[in-house]
Chains A and B, each alone.
Chain A
């Protein structure tokens, strides 16, 4: 990989100022996606601003059904947080399925959400939970945040501080991993809460994470796996690659959605 200038940020404000002073700066959190990308020379930032050590960006707070997760909280910490498991076990289960144990010890929720990899797990949770992404500049609703594959509403230099959401009455995540990479070939997060049913799909769509509105409607009137029988997503809107074509992924969306519902219905 190409050389870079490494900076350890003491705070989010420090990180913002380091970024603004850099020619082509890039935040690094756990680095579990960024470093392999840099090794492949697909990214070559002039400066890396490390926010993983910023203490007040890390940790889980649960107050009643209100959940806030600091952006630098690792997947292992999310998976293993007892208070969070009591409030919203589905997100703990999801975090425990990301990558492998070593990756989960370093990778962070903020990094995953900011990167918006089309096969990442967290974006599905954020969207289905109707989470709010809090940055150093504003709060952004998940529905407005994920704007396409590897694309988000974040502005240049904007830093995610935390994500927060109301724990749903019921939630579940069903994932079908890619046989090679083990990223989601299809991951469906289903949440049933005060605002109704939300179904978010990652790994399958050809423009990143999306909400399956037909499925939400069907489940809104009958929260049962069978309710999804008449629904479908279009194979044309799905990714197609050597691991499976659009029709296969469209099928997976339905199968995983049914399994998520079956787990909690």
Chain B
């Protein structure tokens, strides 16, 4: 067992977990923040994406112990008030259907917009599609996800 302490959505948490505990299991099972999902076993689908110290990471491919001391943001923590511009854009553009991949899409979307803004690069359709390589959606055909991220990029 190992003791992990981190900040999750601005709140300090400490827990005793098995060493093998994945960050996603810590978030879902220990903190009961069930918005972060697991859709595969091979780090491909991105349903589990969270931000660790401000960067998108796959919480299914990281031990909770590796996030010790980090600031973690999950889908439950992105909005400051009602909805984050990325969340709103997904609603405006019908960027989600079953909703299962959506938290990962929103977290990856925010991350890519932040990075492109920081680097002063334009996030056009081709760039968004390329940046979404690690997020799989089975419902939307990505068309409206791309539109959503594009809208949010203009508003964030």
Contact = CB atoms under 8 A, between A and B. Distances in A.
Interface string A56-78: 00000000000000000000100
Contacts of A134: none
Interface string A28-58: 1001100110111000000010101000000
Contacts of A244: none
B62 A35 contact: yes
Interface stretch (A100-108, A110-118, A218-226, A256-264): A100-108
A102 B41 contact: no
Contacts of A181: 44
Q: Classify the interface of chain B: helix, strand, loop or mixed.
A: mixed
Interface in B36-56: 41-44, 46, 49, 52, 55-56
Nearest to A38: B20
Q: Interface size bucket, B side? A: 20 to 34
B61 A40 contact: no
A48 B68 CA distance: 15
Nearest to A44: B20
Interface string B3-41: 000000000000000111010000000000000000001
A149 B108 CA distance: 33
Identify the 9 closest CB pairs spanning chains A and B, nearest first.
Answer: A100-B134, A6-B19, A100-B133, A105-B55, A6-B65, A102-B56, A102-B58, A3-B20, A35-B61
Interface of B: 2, 18-20, 22, 41-44, 46, 49, 52, 55-58, 61-63, 65-66, 68, 108, 111-112, 115, 119, 131, 133-135
